[in-house]
Structure 1
Amino acid sequence: MARLVWCVLGLLVAGGLADPVKQAQQKPADKSTLERQHKLLILFYHIHEPNHFKEHQEIENTWDIEKNAEHYSNTTVVHIVSQLIHHQWLLPKTVPFSILESTHKAEAQFMFNLLYSAKDFDTFYKTAVYLRCHLNEYLYVYVLSTAIYHRHDTQNIIVPPLYNIIPSFFHNSEVMTTAQRVAVHGKRFVEHYPTTRLWDDNVVIHMNETVWPYDDEEMTIAYFTHDVGLNSLYYNTHMTYPFWIGRETCPLIKDRRGELFWWWHKQLLTRYYMERLSVGLGEIPELDTSLVLEGYRSGLTYMNGIPFPYRPDHYHLDAPWILQALQKIELYEYRIDEAISKGHLYNEDLNYVNIRTPDAIDVLGRIIEANVDSPNVHYYQDFITLWKRVLGGAHVTNPVNVQYHNGMIPLVVPSVLENYQTALRDPAFYMIWKRVLQIFQSWHETLPLYTHDELALPSVQIQKVDVDKLVTYFEYTHINVTNHLHLNEFEYQHGYDTKSVLVQRPQLNHKIFTVRVNVNSESKKHVTVRFFLAPKYDSRGNEIPLVENTQNFFQLDEFDYVLQQGDNVITRVSNENMYGLDPLQGQELFRKVEDALNGGQFMWDVQHKPDVFLNRLILPKGRVGGMPFVLMVYISEYRAPNVVYGTGFDPVSSLGLGTGARRLTADPLGFPVDRPLHLWQVTGIQNIFFQDVVIHHKHTPEIPIHPF
């Protein structure tokens, strides 16, 4: 079998909402699943090249979806896709793809529905092979990955991280150009390339965008905003709950997707804010509707050589098409603000939907995202995407400038804001989301404040909280970008790479720490324990009042615990928290699968999941001399969710999308800081505890000659 080189060497990345229960940590994979895993991994190999393998070429030449229409549950989409391919009404290869462009989205929906409706795995696999030779590379990876996440018979299949499949989304053109030179020249001229060296059989390219000389002040935080794991995570969380999937076709509403949409972005913005404070960048700027002071140049290039659009400094929002877009944004935001102030919105039948209840956060999230499960997607339209188009700097988003393939398919050049895998790089992303979260906040302020009875647990008293010294540092990771490089004739004929190019990047991590909570309980009690972290001071050095800081609390952990009568010491180590480890990547994944097929064993691990937030990023960088933060420990009575966690799926190997069984408790996400919390509300409540902590940053010594 052909040897594939995906490879991420060292500690690599990815993740989102973690499974909160880690009871059965691992489970062995059976042979049938391993064979499926192996087949699907090969489809992502050198995605910009034609099908390399004989099996793929035979399927490509013989499979006919219309002649096999009985193998699909949706015969209508079979006919539509057949016509699209026959008439070449498809996005051509190599050009950029954007799921936010309506025509591109429609094609992606057709292809997803075709893959999703395959009645068995064999049909799904042959369809995936067949589509590979017809679809745009970006669209194909997006659709195939999404289908794998949502089909019932591929729930336990691991999709390689996008930074292995299409590395150019994660490394600037300087790095990718150097990598292509290595592909052409081999190792002969390595000493003549800047920032390159040899390590065994690999060529290593050094990259540190925090000190890249071609960018501005915001790059001091690039270690966070450009983190390949964090950006891959955001892409994965989108694919698990795409705005265009839902309703009867692929039900996701049971998971309270609207609340997840709010909570995930609140967590992300809070982490970003603490990182800004750590490096002295100050408050997140307010979004202005006439002028954006801060520009952004990503340095990224699409596969066909077209650079990503950029936004210059002092970007004036005065072009006619921008002014029209701003008018729409104002209208769509007003409609939501009006619904919040009145306490109800209108569904598609023009009936009232009450949003003055705590559960309405899910409805609000769905209308703000404008996903297919929105009660009225035609009235409450997508203003977030409009903001991305306005601020991305992609001038071709002006309809006058768009060109079309075959007179039908718009050829666009999306900005980093318009790609989920790159959006976090641009500081404007956080300006947009600061504005959006203010809308959510205005809704939260319409709810009653939590009462003493809702917050208190009278029989439980937190007496003391001890935290180990919190230390962050940078470590080096080495990411293989070989999948981006063109194959030579020998590699194409034999189906494997003869070269390996790694990119060395710094990434933030922290020393493992332990939190010890001394608790007295009057009786044996099942409780939920939550840890939150927030900044103590703002950018001007003023202590932030609790009611204002509520929106800045980042949830570090959540777990259930059984208190015994009397004194208890809850001991929680940071690597046991609700977040996960770096997923299996590239070469290690392929090697383990092949070894297992040859008589070894492959283990699924509950902590290695694509939508699990990175444990290494739970702490902000802090400062060398120490930076003060506030740790909040909150213990509440355990309230079981409506559907018991893990019902209907295997939490070790499956994501459980759409089951409604992904929650640990029935409490709102982020409880009790999901609503404003005043100091007077918590005064005298003994099951909540605020502890000052200090985060120290330790400089990493020079990397040794060998990275591992």
Structure 2
Amino acid sequence: MKLVQVLLVAALCAFASSSEVPIAKIQKDVLLLLAHINQPPMYPQWTKTMETYNVSLHASEYSKPEVVHQYELYESYGFLPKGEIFSVMYQPHLNQSIILFELFYYAKTYEAFYNTAVWARYHFNEGVFLYAYSLAVVHRPDMQDVILPPIYEIYPYYFYNVEVIQQAFKLKQMHNPQHPISAYDQNHGYTVFTNYSGHYLNLHPEQSLSYYLEDVGINAFYYYYNLYYPFWMSSKEYGFAAVNRGEEYFVLYSQLIAKYYMERLSNGFGEIQYLNWDLPIETPYYPSLEYPNGLEFPYRPPFVKLQEYYYNYGQTWSWKSNYGYSYNLIQDWERRISDAIDYGVLNVHGQKINLYDSDALNILGNLIEGNPDSPNSEFYGMIWLYARHLLGYSYQPLDKYHIAPSALEHFETSLRDPVFYQLYKKIILLFYKYLYKLPFYSYDDLVFPGVEVVGVEIDKLVTYDDYFYSDISNVVYDTKDELLQDSFHIRVAQTRLNHKPFNYKITVKSEKAVQSVVKVFIAPIYDEYNRYINMTYNFMNMVLLDYFVYDLKAGQNPITRNSYDSQLYGKDPLSYHEIYQQMLSAESGKGSWSADQYYWYFPHRYMLPQGTPSGLPFQFYVAVYPYVPEKTEGSSSSRGFESFFYPIVNGKQFIDSYPLLYPFDKPIVYEKFWHGIPNFYSYETKVYHVEDVNVVH
């Protein structure tokens, strides 16, 4: 696996002059451009640029002038009007956002990029602009020290249920700046206390998991992952060809499935249901969300029959979309991928690709995702994309402007629907079908000669719920004075899962001084019927908790770690206004600006599953193996193209040359043999969930 991203020389040259612009100024521009995204921009410094800037007259300011020509061609076709619903999973909308992104990306200087952004903020659809601009901030090398504010504060509509949005508008209408009502706090504005949809509308037992499915941090994490690795983006063109994106695709979704399974066990549920296209989908879903234009998100009733879906079945294949034959397409593509795994050979334009070579997992991942790095995306398709439309029970578009996407058709809302996990379990099983055909690890592959893990000790593991506050001021419409003075604020208070910090101690005995890698996993021990889960099957439920290099000395090595030492999970990000205040401090010279602490991690709050009041048994698994440095090209940095974001491991994604999930990246056949390896250690403990974290015995 490769960490370091290979940058295009032309891109580096194009962005060279941007280093002269103070980073605090760039960060301020980003925040202002994303403020109140659903209303016209009112900042006076933008007026001239918004009204007079012409991309065609500035073609020389883009390192790839043909992107200007592409924009001119598409302009005659007609861009999505402002106020209409945008979905990156609807091809005409995706095409428009790519055109705008390329204008941003290929702007030679920051000044050209900024002028293009101000012009686009005024003229383009809000969703198209937000997606394209966010992509540019993530992928332009000169923006690597700039951070995006939390997406749930930029676009609260996609993260908070409709009653929260209604309450926000109600408070804004009642607000009198001269005589605010008593509920208004000068520091934080109004506070709306809310819960999850499962607490007031429970259509299915699985909706009791809404505290996890609707968590703003988990959904934001998934959204930002798909900004860093867009499904449509060529890794060669945009400078991350050195990353095994196909393998990362497998790791991401296998970990999401494993995490959700442990959360289900904490609530008395069992296996994630297996999805069969020919059987009724038992699980209904009512999103409780509303688009900014007032249209409700489509809902899925219980026991729907996909093959008889009225809104897709039998409709023509036309410019409206290719969704009309989703039911047939996804089955064709799934069969083709399954056959390719069985044959072990891909025949692509006369060239044979062996699926059982060393890099084949990465090839298979690209094939299944259907990204531009796929050997043959036209033949093997994109199961996940068309399945989202079908399972989301959304409608075919009325025309190129009017669509009503389901929650599954936005990365911000996908994880809210329980069927998301059923779909990706089906996709991950294709990977496991492949992995079972590979040679399994032998004893010699796994043993670390002279090294033995002799003991593990872990503190009591306790989870609880605490309030999390996020600013949703962007959801209401401000007057020009309110916008310029930043005078009206409203926030949401919502309970989220958290856990008490815990320590654990790993004792390793080594015959000599040697560098090692230590990994710590967590997995269930028993299923919902209290039946022991054999390691032969449990390997796919392993969730990576910690991952670090350690220099072993000859003799006993006590390794003590705190849960916050793990670089795999991140603390709650700063709010929009906290970032803004820090940026102002840096701009005035009273403080400094650093983006190092703002990586988008999987939330640290959800490092542990919820557990139960009486304690739910889990297994901690420690693996110690030889450190073999990863082969890299170029230099590494703390963020950006040379150290690309990764959803499980951030900062330094891969610290060695082994697969990220090693030793659980392959099936396990003989459990007794597995337990006999001295450098592996299994430790059983319980996770307790309490109402009041201050009363823990």
Residue 42 of structure 1 and its aligned partner are, at CA, apart by 0.8
Matching of residue 648 in structure 1 with residue 605 in structure 2: no
Q: Give the Cα–Cα distance (whole angstroms) in 1 for the partners of residues 206 and 692 of structure 2.
A: 22
Q: Give the Cα–Cα distance (whole angstroms) in 1 for the partners of residues 138 and 299 of structure 2.
A: 32
User: Pick from 542, 563, 573: which aligns with 1:583?
Assistant: 573
Q: What is the 5 A alignment of 1:300-699?
A: 300-317=289-306, 318-319=308-309, 321-322=312-313, 324-347=325-348, 349-394=349-394, 396-397=395-396, 402-404=397-399, 409-488=400-479, 490-491=481-482, 495-579=484-568, 580-604=570-594, 606-610=596-600, 612-643=601-632, 647-651=634-638, 656-657=643-644, 662-677=653-668, 678-699=670-691
Q: 1:590 to 1:661 in 2, by over 3 A?
A: closer
Residue 593 of structure 1 and its aligned partner are, at CA, apart by 0.5
Q: Give the Cα–Cα distance (whole angstroms) in 1 for the partners of residues 610 and 524 of structure 2.
A: 12
User: Pick from 163, 178, 191: which aligns with 1:174?
Assistant: 163
Q: What is the 5 A alignment of 1:199-214?
A: 199-200=185-186, 202-209=189-196, 211-214=198-201
One-letter amino acid matched to 2:369: E
Q: Do 1:329 and 1:383's aligned partners in 2 also have CA atoms closer than 8 Å?
A: yes
For residues 328-350 of structure 1, the C-alpha deviation after alignment (integer angstroms, 9 at most, x for no partner) is 11110111111111112233x23
User: Pick from 283, 297, 305: which aligns with 1:294?
Assistant: 283
Other-structure match for 1:22: none
Q: 1:303 to 1:50 in 2, by over 3 A?
A: same
Q: Give the Cα–Cα distance (whole angstroms) in 1 for the partners of residues 22 and 415 of structure 2.
A: 38
For residues 680-704 of structure 1, the C-alpha deviation after alignment (integer angstroms, 9 at most, x for no partner) is 33232100001001001111379xx
Other-structure match for 1:26: none
One-letter amino acid matched to 2:631: N
**SS across alignment from 2:191:** strand
Residue 64 of structure 1 and its aligned partner are, at CA, apart by 1.5
Q: Give the Cα–Cα distance (whole angstroms) in 2 for the partners of residues 665 and 571 of structure 1.
A: 21
Q: Do 1:478 and 1:502's aligned partners in 2 also have CA atoms closer than 8 Å?
A: yes
Greater Cα offset, 539-548 or 29-38: 29-38
Q: Give the Cα–Cα distance (whole angstroms) in 1 for the partners of residues 20 and 59 of structure 2.
A: 30
Other-structure match for 1:108: 97
One-letter amino acid matched to 2:328: Q
Q: Give the Cα–Cα distance (whole angstroms) in 2 for the partners of residues 643 and 369 of structure 1.
A: 25
Question: Taking every aligned residue pair, what percent have the same amino acid on both sides?
Answer: 31
Q: Give the Cα–Cα distance (whole angstroms) in 1 for the partners of residues 640 and 74 of structure 2.
A: 36
Residue 603 of structure 1 and its aligned partner are, at CA, apart by 4.1
**SS across alignment from 1:529:** strand
Q: Do 2:3 and 2:643's aligned partners in 1 also have CA atoms closer than 8 Å?
A: no
Q: 1:605 to 1:158 in 2, by over 3 A?
A: closer
One-letter amino acid matched to 1:33: I
Greater Cα offset, 659-668 or 432-441: 659-668
Q: 1:694 to 1:680 in 2, by over 3 A?
A: same
Other-structure match for 1:280: 268
Other-structure match for 2:112: 123
Q: Give the Cα–Cα distance (whole angstroms) in 1 for the partners of residues 393 and 384 of structure 2.
A: 15
Q: Give the Cα–Cα distance (whole angstroms) in 1 for the partners of residues 675 and 152 of structure 2.
A: 48
Q: 1:581 to 1:249 in 2, by over 3 A?
A: same
Q: Give the Cα–Cα distance (whole angstroms) in 2 for the partners of residues 684 and 445 of structure 1.
A: 22
**SS across alignment from 2:617:** strand
Q: Give the Cα–Cα distance (whole angstroms) in 2 for the partners of residues 514 and 653 of structure 1.
A: 32
For residues 321-371 of structure 1, the C-alpha deviation after alignment (integer angstroms, 9 at most, x for no partner) is 358422211110111111111112233x23111111342111111111100
Q: 1:149 to 1:651 in 2, by over 3 A?
A: same
For residues 530-587 of structure 1, the C-alpha deviation after alignment (integer angstroms, 9 at most, x for no partner) is 0000000111211000010010000011111000011100111110102222223211
For residues 37-71 of structure 1, the C-alpha deviation after alignment (integer angstroms, 9 at most, x for no partner) is 11121100111111211221111122221111111
Other-structure match for 1:74: 64
Q: Do 1:357 and 1:447's aligned partners in 2 also have CA atoms closer than 8 Å?
A: no
User: What are structure 1's unaligned runs of at least 5 residues?
Assistant: 1-16, 20-28, 703-708
One-letter amino acid matched to 1:681: F
Q: Give the Cα–Cα distance (whole angstroms) in 2 for the partners of residues 631 and 661 of structure 1.
A: 24
Two-structure CA RMSD over aligned residues (Å): 2.4
Greater Cα offset, 110-119 or 216-225: 216-225
Residue 491 of structure 1 and its aligned partner are, at CA, apart by 2.2
Residue 655 of structure 1 and its aligned partner are, at CA, apart by 6.5
Matching of residue 218 in structure 1 with residue 219 in structure 2: no
Other-structure match for 2:134: 145
Q: Give the Cα–Cα distance (whole angstroms) in 1 for the partners of residues 504 and 420 of structure 2.
A: 33
Residue 182 of structure 1 and its aligned partner are, at CA, apart by 0.8
Residue 628 of structure 1 and its aligned partner are, at CA, apart by 0.1
One-letter amino acid matched to 1:641: E
Q: Give the Cα–Cα distance (whole angstroms) in 2 for the partners of residues 603 and 207 of structure 1.
A: 33
User: What are structure 2's unaligned runs of at least 5 residues?
Assistant: 5-18, 315-324
Q: 1:427 to 1:671 in 2, by over 3 A?
A: same
Residue 33 of structure 1 and its aligned partner are, at CA, apart by 1.1
Residue 506 of structure 1 and its aligned partner are, at CA, apart by 0.6
Q: Give the Cα–Cα distance (whole angstroms) in 2 for the partners of residues 613 and 174 of structure 1.
A: 27
Q: Do 1:155 and 1:655's aligned partners in 2 also have CA atoms closer than 8 Å?
A: no
Q: Give the Cα–Cα distance (whole angstroms) in 2 for the partners of residues 327 and 92 of structure 1.
A: 32
Q: Give the Cα–Cα distance (whole angstroms) in 1 for the partners of residues 257 and 109 of structure 2.
A: 41
**SS across alignment from 1:82:** helix
Other-structure match for 1:251: 239
**How many residues are paired up?**
657
Q: Do 1:179 and 1:501's aligned partners in 2 also have CA atoms closer than 8 Å?
A: yes
Q: Give the Cα–Cα distance (whole angstroms) in 2 for the partners of residues 656 and 577 of structure 1.
A: 18
Q: Do 1:156 and 1:654's aligned partners in 2 also have CA atoms closer than 8 Å?
A: no
Q: Give the Cα–Cα distance (whole angstroms) in 2 for the partners of residues 658 and 690 of structure 1.
A: 31
Residue 267 of structure 1 and its aligned partner are, at CA, apart by 0.8
Q: Do 1:215 and 1:297's aligned partners in 2 also have CA atoms closer than 8 Å?
A: no
Q: Give the Cα–Cα distance (whole angstroms) in 1 for the partners of residues 346 and 172 of structure 2.
A: 57
**SS across alignment from 1:237:** helix
Q: Which has the higher contact order (CA 8 A, sep 6+)?
A: 1
Greater Cα offset, 506-515 or 211-220: 211-220
Q: Give the Cα–Cα distance (whole angstroms) in 2 for the partners of residues 460 and 548 of structure 1.
A: 27
**SS across alignment from 1:176:** helix
Q: Give the Cα–Cα distance (whole angstroms) in 2 for the partners of residues 456 and 417 of structure 1.
A: 43
Q: 1:662 to 1:684 in 2, by over 3 A?
A: closer
Q: Do 1:604 and 1:653's aligned partners in 2 also have CA atoms closer than 8 Å?
A: no
**SS across alignment from 1:346:** strand
Q: Do 2:464 and 2:693's aligned partners in 1 also have CA atoms closer than 8 Å?
A: no
